[in-house]
Amino acid sequence: MDKIIGLGNALVDVLATLKDDTLLDEMGLPKGSMQLIDDAKLQQINIKFSQMKTHLATGGSAGNAILGLACLGAGTGFIGKVGNDNYGEFFRENLQKNKIEDKLLNSDRLPSGVASTFISPDGERTFGTYLGAAASLRAEELTLDMFKGYAYLFIEGYLVQDHEMILHAIELAKEAGLQICLDMASYNIVANDLEFFSLLINKYVDIVFANEEEAKAFTGKKPEEALGVIAKKCSIAIVKVGASGSYIRKGTEEIKVSAIPVQKVVDTTGAGDYFASGFLYGLTCGYSLDKCAKIGSILSGNVIQVIGTTMPQERWDEIKLNINRILAE
């Protein structure tokens, strides 16, 4: 089975469930967005969090996707940067516990990155992200050896603010023979750096994951049309449309796969990341596009039924049974 390495912001999610959305307005965080915050805003949020019940989980888009893959039994690794603090230790221990090859770098100057995650009553999540050490990963810190032995590199779009680092990572990965997977991350990130996303997808990326807002920010079109535009630029294009499922296109083959029925959405954190986990797991096993997407739907449909991105073992056992049913079809 092929191995996958993730490159992303090593973040710890601190999650809190809201009774209503007034706190988001108070904090100046648009619902459903991911906003980068500074020290002052982080302190302001921490004061609020100290009066609420919070839950800790490892986060970051690529980190979530790699965790999902590891829980399915895939060979995985992760490259990121943390601080010398409790959050950094928490992140590292979680990698080791899940048998993810730890390629974390340490910052002596900056604290670990934290994603303050507000979960609205409808399950929608809003992030105030303090990147800290996570954003201090530099091109010159990456080595060819980090990528050897893997078949795929999974990059999160949140990293695009450092063009040099992303391009160097891709060059090293290509030199080591890897295919490049890019998750577009967030519609506002895509809109703010459209030219660079276009360069990456036209020139380097093999597999693109986008949700409908990101696909629209990139192409200006609705999901199905956007899929066609993106698919012309890469090998496999995936556009996720939430509860309506996903569209996938590879060359002339195009499919639509439904989402799994879910009675109650608790928290949408990680839904897209876990879809990518399931899809890539199928790909590393050599399954059809249809089966890859169905596995993706099983994972994303399950993670939205728990708070955060950590699912108990019983749920993983059930997920594996459901995957085996699909493979037997």
pLDDT tens by residue, 22-41: 999 999 999 988 889 998 99
In the predicted model, is pLDDT for residue 245 greater than 90?
yes
For the whole prediction, is pTM greater than 0.85? yes
Predicted confidence (pLDDT) per residue in 130-184, tens digit:
999 999 999 999 999 999 999 999 999 989 889 999 999 999 999 999 999 999 9
Residue 299 has pLDDT above 90, yes or no: yes
pLDDT digits over 50-98, tens only?
A: 999 998 889 999 999 999 999 999 999 999 999 999 999 999 999 999 9
What residue ranges do the domains of the chain occupy? Answer: 4-11+59-112+132-183+259-328
- The confidence score (pLDDT) of residue 45 equals 93
Give the model's confidence band at 266: pLDDT under 50 very low, under 70 low, under 90 confident, else very high.
confident
Average pLDDT (256-277) is 92
- SS3 per residue for the chain: CCCEEEECCCEEEEEEECCCCHHHHHHCCCCCCEEECCHHHHHHHHHHHCCCCEEEEEECHHHHHHHHHHHCCCCEEEEEEEECCHHHHHHHHHHHHCCCEEEEEEECCCCCEEEEEEECCCCCEEEEEECHHHHHCCHHHCCHHHCCCCCEEEEEHHHHHCHHHHHHHHHHHHHCCCEEEEECCCHHHHHHCHHHHHHHHHHCCCEEEEEHHHHHHHHCCCHHHHHHHHHCCCCEEEEECHHHCEEEEECCEEEEECCCCCCCCCCCCCHHHHHHHHHHHHHHCCCCHHHHHHHHHHHHHHHCCCCCCCCCHHHHHHHHHHHHHHHHC
Fold of the domain built from segment(s) 4-11+59-112+132-183+259-328: UDP-N-acetylmuramoyl-L-alanine:D-glutamate ligase (3.40.1190)
The identity of residue 160, as a single letter, is V
Rg (CA), the chain: 18
Using 50, 70 and 90 to split pLDDT, how confident is the model at 123? confident
Residue 129 has pLDDT above 90, yes or no: yes
What's residue 291's pLDDT?
Answer: 97
Mean of the per-residue pLDDT values of the chain? 95
Read off the pLDDT band of 329 (50, 70, 90): confident
Q: Is the pLDDT of residue 267 over 90?
A: no
The pairing of beta strand 11-17 with beta strand 54-59: antiparallel
The pLDDT of residue 289 is: 97
Percent of the chain whose predicted confidence (pLDDT) is above 90? 88
Cβ atoms 42, 114 nearer than 8 A: yes
Cα torsion 74, 77, 80, 81: sign: positive
